[in-house]
Amino acid sequence: MRIYIVLLLLSLSLPLNSHAKQMGVDYLAGEYSTSGIRIALQPMEPQQLPLWDLNWHLEASFNRWQQDAGDEHRQVNVLALSPVITRQFAALANRPVFWEFGIGVSLLDERLFAHKNMGSHFQFEDRIGVVLKVSDEHTLSLRYMHYSNAGLASNNPGMDFLSLSYRRGF
């Protein structure tokens, strides 16, 4: 848990590239006593799509997953890139609420994690979530995130996480 607090504090103090539009930090809670932290960067403003009031943006992230299993302590680092589609569906206290959906790609530095053989280092990163825009610069979100290789390897157990996220715009 201490590593997560240190990573969180470091991520919030990092200077951002002048082209970055949002930076966020997520806490991940997963199956088999796994947890993690995810640092995400949105390098572009959301772009409007021509259908159904949808917007999209690109997100790059670094994840560190951790499992505490008795005396055994395992970690996996993950790099991911995902297009994300959003749409406002409600307002809460005059603040917009959005759903989001995305399917991207990710690369794990280990195939074995949480008593699972993930099958390959390459995984898809799937998400569905709800985002509350607290102010022009701050958002909170709750997401379900799934990582799997979609059957491209013989082993495909996948990993599932609930994610609580804070984002800050610049």
Is residue 159 within 8 A of residue 30, CB to CB? The reply is: yes
Which are the contacts of 32, defined by CB distance < 8 A and separation ≥ 6?
67, 69, 114, 115, 116
Cβ neighbors of 71 (< 8 A, separation 6 or more) are none
Beta-strand runs (E) in the chain: 22-30, 34-42, 47-48, 55-69, 72-92, 95-108, 112-113, 116-117, 122-133, 138-148, 159-169
Rounded Cα–Cα distance for residues 107 and 14 (Å): 23
pLDDT range class, residue 16, cuts 50, 70, 90: very low
The mean pLDDT value of the chain amounts to: 88
Domains of the chain from N-terminus onward: 2-169 (2.40.160.20)
Looking at residue 18, its pLDDT comes to: 45
Each residue of 57-101: pLDDT tens digit? 999 999 999 987 665 558 999 999 999 999 999 999 999 999 999
Among all residues, which ones are annotated catalytic? 146, 148, 160
- The CA angle 23-77-17, to the nearest 5 degrees, is 25
Q: What is the pTM of this model?
A: 0.83
Classified as helix, coil or strand, 118 is: coil
| φ, ψ (nearest 5 deg) of residue 94 | 65, 20
**Tens digits of residue pLDDT in 108-148:** 999 988 888 999 999 999 999 999 999 989 999 999 999 99
